[in-house]
Copies of this chain bind each other. A is one copy, B any other.
Amino acid sequence: MNLDAVYSELTLKTNAKIALVVLDGLGDLATKNQGEMTPLEAARTPNLDALVAQGCAQGRMIPVAPGITPGSGPGHLALFGYDPLEYQVGRGVIEALGLGVELKAGDVCARANFATLDAKGIVTDRRAGRIPTETCERLCKMLADKVKKIGDTEVIIKAGKEHRFVVVFRGKGLEGPLTDADPNREGFPIPQVKPRDPANAKQKKMAKLVADFYKAALPILQNEKPANGFLMRGIAHQPEIPLFEERYLLKPACLAVYPMYKGLAQLVGMKKLEGPQTIAEQFRAYQAEYSNFDFFFIHYKYTDKYGEDGDFEAKKKAIEEFDAALPILLEKKPDVLCITGDHSTPCALKAHSWHPQPVLIHSAYSGSDKLQRFTETGANQGSLGVFEAKYLIRLLQANARMFDKFGA
């Protein structure tokens, strides 16, 4: 039984508006060091508290599967209702999206590093001494100017930070994933890439293209020091993902500031609304565009950023900044409002984690869990329980009365 097909069959088009506010990495841990409080618990959030008082359902979400820590890709795909175990997005694609490359269907992307090779082609430094970003940009421009195409295939090269860049191959009949052009340690030559599936003709063609790209690009770098070579990893095409609008009968818009999240939204066909830089500006843009879309994905980065820094106070303040802006969103109250994270980024870990993130749903039909606030500890007692994040969108649709009854 394909559950997605069941949902699709039951889906009705309505006029309901849904807003999904993602406070990236929101979830946290109550540790002794932090007075047994999470940043969300320690923060002053009068506007959020008032919303909770109006009646909300709360719970916690498992981003991918028990114990698994997601990257931003799987974390967001789950929030968008795509099983992150089924829809895996290659590292190259995520990096390209993160650098703001506008990907097209069929594009094959590779994450690349500038590296140092000795006279025999042995990798002596996989990161070329972490060259400055400016050097990386100069080298990428040099490569891009000289290698615009390999055969019929367009090559797009974009610099990242320090030694990092991405290479996008845009052509016909190309597919990943390939093995890495990276020995993954020093003292070995750059290996030839191979199809992951030896029987796949498109992967074979792609492997040949990568080899030809090396032949064209390496001579251009030969007099550079220390970056006279490069490695390529995570070589894969953009996966085919059913479009959000067709899947949910919701016309979606994305209000994100960072390119990675815009890219992930674009992957499922959301319309990017450009311009706003702060959460208050994002909420104002939501207001302005309210009548043009049914679904708003509003992404707030700073909870994750300060969680990764292990900066409890800053994460708490980021939540308070969100709370201060919340009334702007509520001026045009959506039929269904959801506030959550894509995963937890506990200050104690300074990294993404597997801990289920708290989630809040407010609608005319959410009911009230009679909790005072929106917190991790409160959410443990919520009516939504602990569930897989990929089901969130279905709960939002249900709250929007978008599902017909199943069976008589």
**Given A3-B65, A89-B407, are A365 and B349 neighbors across the interface (CB < 8 Å)?**
yes
Any chain B CB within 8 A of the CB of A135? no
A71 to B406, CA, bound (A): 6
- Taking CB atoms, residues of chain B closer than 8 Å to A356 are 383, 385
A353-408 at interface with B (beta carbon < 8 Å): 353-356, 364-370, 376-377, 380-387, 391, 394-395, 397-398, 403-408
Cα A32 to Cα B397 with chains together (Å): 22
- What's the nearest-Cβ distance from chain B to residue A81, in Å? 10
- The prevalent SS among residues of A at the interface is loop
Residue of B nearest to A399 (CB): B67
A10 at the interface (CB under 8 A from B): yes
The residue in A6, A60, A68, A88 that gathers the most chain B C-beta atoms within 10 A of its C-beta is A68
Confirm or deny: A84 has a beta carbon within 8 angstroms of a beta carbon on chain B: yes
Cα distance A32–B53 when bound, in Å? Answer: 10
* A126 close to chain B: CB less than 8 A: no
Chain B min CB distance to A297 (Å): 18
Q: CB of A39 within 8 A of chain B? A: no
Across the interface, which residues of B come within 8 angstroms of A86, CB to CB?
1
Partner of A387, one of B3, B66, B395, B405: B66
Please tell me if the beta carbons of B355 and A406 are within 8 angstroms of each other in the complex: no
In this assembly, does A69 line the interface, its C-beta being within 8 Å of a C-beta of chain B? yes
Tell me the bound Cα distance from A10 to B348 in angstroms: 21
Q: How far is the CA of A65 from the CA of B392 in the complex (A)?
A: 12
A176 at the interface (CB under 8 A from B): no
Proximity string of chain A (112-145) to chain B, C-beta cutoff 8 Å, 1 when within and 0 when not = 0000000000000000000000000000000000
A240 within 8 A of B: no
A383-B376, A386-B386 are known contacts. Are A398 and B69 too (CB-CB below 8 A)?
Answer: yes
CB pair B369–A406 under 8 Å, yes or no, is: no
- Residue of B3, B6, B70, B387 near A386 (CB, 8 A) is B387
Residues A370 and B365 in contact, CB atoms below 8 Å apart: no
Q: Which of B351, B382, B394 contacts A67 (CB 8 A)?
A: B394
CB <8 Å contact, B407 and A70: yes
* A382/B380 in contact, CB under 8 A: yes
Judged by a CB distance under 8 angstroms, whether A207 is at the interface is no
A391 touches B85 (CB 8 A): no
Judged by a CB distance under 8 angstroms, whether A279 is at the interface is no
Which chain B positions have C-beta within 8 A of A385?
60, 356, 380, 385-386
Question: Taking the nearest CB of chain B, how far is it from the CB of A261, in angstroms?
Answer: 13
Interface string of A318-348 (1 = CB under 8 A from B): 0000000000000000000000000000101
Please give, as numbers and ranges, the residues of chain B lying within 8 Å of A73 by CB-CB distance: 407-408
Q: A31 to chain B: which residues have CB within 8 Å?
A: 55, 367-368
How far is the CB of A335 from the nearest CB of chain B, in Å? 14
- Selected from B67, B71, B369, B380, the residue in CB contact (under 8 A) with A391 is B67
The CA-CA distance from A54 to B30 in the complex, in Å, is: 11
Contact A381 B381 (CB under 8 A): yes
Instruction: Tell yes or no: A47 within 8 A of B by CB.
Output: no
7 extra A-B contacts, CB within 8 A, seeds A30-B55, A60-B383, A348-B365: A36-B55, A66-B395, A69-B406, A72-B407, A74-B407, A234-B408, A355-B383
Interface positions of A (Cβ within 8 A of B): 1, 3, 6-7, 10, 29-32, 36, 54-55, 59-60, 64-74, 83-86, 88-89, 91, 94-95, 234, 346, 348-349, 351-356, 364-370, 376-377, 380-387, 391, 394-395, 397-398, 403-408
Lowest 5 A-B CB distances belong to which pairs? A385-B386, A29-B367, A67-B398, A67-B394, A94-B408
A selection of 12 A-B contacts at a CB cut-off of 8 Å is A32-B54, A66-B387, A69-B404, A70-B405, A71-B405, A72-B407, A84-B406, A95-B408, A352-B405, A354-B398, A380-B382, A381-B381
